[in-house]
Amino acid sequence: MTVQEPPGAAYRLAPPPAWRPRVDAAPLLPDPEPFRVLGTDAAADTDPELLRALYRQLVLGRRYNAQAMALTKQGRLAVYPSSTGQEACEVAAALALEERDWLFPSYRDTLAAVARGLDPVQALTLLRGDWHTGYDPYEHRVAPLSTPLATQLPHAVGLAHAARLQGDDVVALAMVGDGGTSEGDFHEALNFAAVWRAPVVFLVQNNGFAISVPLAKQTAAPSLAHKAVGYGMPGRLVDGNDAPAVHQVISDAVARARGGGGPTLIEAVTYRMDAHTNADDATRYRASAEVEAWRAHDPVLLLERELTGRGLLDEEGRRAAAEAAETMAARLRERMNADPVLDPMDLFAHVYAEPTPQLREQAAGLRAELEAEREATHDPAHGPERTGADTGGGAGAPGGMEGRR
């Protein structure tokens, strides 16, 4: 007898029918081992041009990460969360999407945004401490790089659901780290996405650590991909250092979402070779032997070995990829070494379409302080005030994104 049953009621041997599972759980379970392409028979069936494109982007990405880390040491970046070792996930995420789709990156996914076509300097603007997002999200359909953990996931679900309601053939790909799966936003996003059958794909880059916290201290689940079953969506497990494998799994999930099949949770098993950021000392919580063991599974070397063995990459091809990466790094250095022209009034631009009374008051207060400072220093070189903050700084306001591209 349950607490809801009156005295004398017949005892039920089973819960009421509403308890019954809504779907068969078996097809939603991930495979026992991560899906792989490199070193398997599936590699021979992969488009050679795709493999070459992945390789070129991997080489560019590795060099981009190294250059960005160097810029932090030179004081040109406030912080940089490197994705060295995770480049296969980043590149595959960008190349698996159509132009009309949206990418929702985390703070570590700068490389994915660049591979999707974002200006390399604009991708670093937020980490430089300049401007708001650094770029117009609508231009490349790349949402702002999200520093708060997992908050981009519900945003991705909302956009995907809205696009479907409007009849738009759009898929949202939301990227998050293993640490983000411990946030409430992760669970809320998966639940909404599954109930609404929203066309969204969740890519979890399991790089082993949430800053200094290993995965074993975050979850007791068999894998992060298994969490998908509890929300009623399929979970996929893939070798995150196998670029064509990640590309295939993401592409399959994107096609499923676009066809009305609903969301998919993908766990890409990879490793963060560098520290969490340049401000972190990874030697305090992981052994160097562990890092060295993962170097043998380097995504760049794995793909290079496959291409070389199949006769799809020669010395000239390697040199061309390396030279393109060096050219990119040189241009990035040159542009990042130029001091940005900062205007404190930018704080109030592009915050609201119609600025609030409080925002107008704050802008007026700052403007008065700046004018007083100029009068005190007698700075004749200072030009007239920009008007963008006076109107709330719409997209076309002076000093807006148009003047920063």
- Residues serving a catalytic function are 272, 276, 285
| H or E element at residue 289 | helix 288-295
What are the tokens at 225? 């991909």
Give the SS3 label for residue 394. Answer: coil
Q: Among residues 60, 86, 58, which one has the least CA distance to residue 306?
A: 58
Given a contact cutoff of 8 angstroms between Cβ atoms, the answer to whether 54 and 245 are in contact is no
Position of tokens 């792989």?
A: 36
- Pairing type for strands 102-104 and 172-177 reads parallel
Given a contact cutoff of 8 angstroms between Cβ atoms, the answer to whether 102 and 291 are in contact is no
Q: Report the distance separating Cα 117 and Cα 98, nearest Å.
A: 12
Q: Report the distance separating Cα 64 and Cα 67, nearest Å.
A: 5
What distances in angstroms separate CA 348 from CA 84, 111, 343, one per listed residue? 35, 29, 10
Q: Report the distance separating Cα 132 and Cα 120, nearest Å.
A: 16
Please count the other Cβ atoms lying within 10 Å of the Cβ belonging to residue 123. 26
What distances in angstroms separate CA 71 from CA 94, 130, 147, 247, 277, one per listed residue? 24, 15, 19, 30, 13
Given a contact cutoff of 8 angstroms between Cβ atoms, the answer to whether 234 and 45 are in contact is no
- 366 contact partners, CB below 8 Å, separation of at least 6: 344, 345, 347, 348
Give the SS3 label for residue 267. Answer: strand
Sign of CA dihedral 159, 164, 168, 172: positive
Q: Report the distance separating Cα 148 and Cα 330, nearest Å.
A: 31
What distances in angstroms separate CA 337 from CA 78, 112, 117, 128, one per listed residue? 13, 23, 22, 11
Given a contact cutoff of 8 angstroms between Cβ atoms, the answer to whether 162 and 123 are in contact is no
Q: Report the distance separating Cα 96 and Cα 36, nearest Å.
A: 17
